[in-house]
Structure 1
Amino acid sequence: MTANAQRFDAVLFDAGGVLVLPDPTVLVPLLDFYGGDTSIEAHRRAHYAGMRDKSHEGSSEDEWLVYDEAYVAAVGVRSAERDEAADVLNRTRTPDLWRWPIPETLVALRRLADAGVPMGVVSNASGQVEGSLNRSVCQVGDGPFVSMRCIVDSHVVGVTKPDPTIFDHALPYFAEFDRSRIAYIGDSVAMDIRSSTGAGLHPILIDPYDDHAGADFERIASVGVIADELCR
């Protein structure tokens, strides 16, 4: 595929569910106590089950009960203990726990960086996201990991998705590109698809388990799909 034939000139990413997940090395022993599956894969799947149910319910950014209930069910917590387990999960899954890098995403980011694709991060967070990503995934400018043009944290800039104006804090770093040729990859229909559509970007949902079959927006199984497209 030639550069002129590519759909996108740049890519923006959400953090949670796209670059990192709630740390399963912490959540596995937490929920094992209630009979939960101890495999990393079960906990990876549980995150997207939670986001699926959160989107279906139309939950706001600060409403996580549906997510927690779906998560504990997905890892097989005993039925009689799911309410307690969901409450414990809610109190344990703090913002700082969104730190486990998704391995295949790291590979895809490196491929995109090596191909010269401009990238950035726009995330609903609590002021911690840049510091967390800097430890294992990416940083603004030069450093040990993949370079991003910007990392926008909703708490820092004072705007939270689904408000599309959060992207006003990122788009000046991509001023040479038309908005419609910038992809935004997220894991939430309510937060990410809605906000990026409103901002005039091209929305893409990470949907590795086909939880949103039949949706009227683009879905991909992993960031590697975009790397395959843009790094030819």
Structure 2
Amino acid sequence: MTEFDAVLFDAGGVLLLPNPETTGPLVAPFGGSTRTADLERAHFAGAHAMDHARAEGEDSDWQAYARAFLRATGAQIEGQEKSAADAFIDGFNHTLWQHPMPSAAPTLQSLADRGVPIGIVSNAEGQVEGDLARFGICGVDTPGVARVACVVDSHVVGVRKPDPAIFLHAFDALGVPASPRIAYVGDTVFFDVRSATAAGLTPLLHDPYGMHEADPHPSGPHRVLSRLGDLLDLV
């Protein structure tokens, strides 16, 4: 018996990652590794640190992300944490999310081929629908890629996670009400797990490197998805 009737996805940290061609030069001045695999992993270290910063009441979550990203690449920033993070953030913006997760396109295509309703709900700056289509991951009406019911971009609809109201646009597109039988795959607890839970969905935390495994006090109940392909066993 299947667990889910439909699947919604975040974009950043699930389908797209920061482009190593841009993040590499941001970490290199501090001695960080510019290997693609290390830079991919560093995003998840940053997302994990962002969650902890939010849980501890810090507003500077991107500072936490930047410090953790740098350290995960082996960058030496002791004694200059803030200035190093500031330099990283200065070069980091929404145009960086242009490195597809290798498993993204085949997983979404497999779901679409099975007739599983799928959609995207992402905090973004108006670019995410075009990026997903351009990199061959999915589209609402794009030939040759997995078809999705919607790409909900926070900039376009005017509401951002963790506000659960952003999901209302996806429910309208899918033609179904909120339900625990709709999964939402995201890479943060604060923005994704929290909002999906509040919206009545089942959150699945995309954590391919096990960053959250050692957390003694998770910020709410959630399940972990180690590989996007594992979704195919749930629908």
TM-score normalised to structure 2 length: 0.89
Q: Within 5 Å, give how 1:39-188 maps onto structure 2.
A: 39-58=35-54, 63-80=61-78, 82-136=81-135, 137-176=137-176, 179-188=179-188
Which amino acid counterpart does residue 20 of structure 1 have in structure 2? Answer: L
Q: Name whichever of 63-72 and 28-37 sits farther off.
A: 28-37
- Provide the rounded CA distance (Å) in 2 between the counterparts of 1:125 and 1:12: 15
Structure 1 unmatched runs, 5+: none
Cα–Cα, structure 1 residues 82 and 41, in superposed 2: closer, same or farther, change >3 Å?
farther
| Structure 1 stretches of 4+ moved >3 Å | 59-63, 80-85
Structure 2 unmatched runs, 5+: none
Q: CA deviation at 1:114?
A: 1.7
Q: CA deviation at 1:199?
A: 0.5
Q: Name whichever of 117-126 and 215-224 sits farther off.
A: 215-224
Q: Name whichever of 154-163 and 136-145 sits farther off.
A: 136-145
Aligned-residue sequence identity (percent) comes to 43
TM-score normalised to structure 1 length: 0.90
> How large is the Cα RMSD of the aligned pairs?
1.9
- Provide the rounded CA distance (Å) in 2 between the counterparts of 1:162 and 1:30: 28
- Provide the rounded CA distance (Å) in 2 between the counterparts of 1:42 and 1:104: 17
- Provide the rounded CA distance (Å) in 1 between the counterparts of 2:125 and 2:178: 29
Is 1:227 paired with 2:232?
yes
- Provide the rounded CA distance (Å) in 1 between the counterparts of 2:190 and 2:234: 26
Per the alignment, in what secondary structure is the counterpart of residue 21 of structure 2? helix
Cα–Cα, structure 1 residues 228 and 18, in superposed 2: closer, same or farther, change >3 Å?
same
Per the alignment, in what secondary structure is the counterpart of residue 78 of structure 1? coil
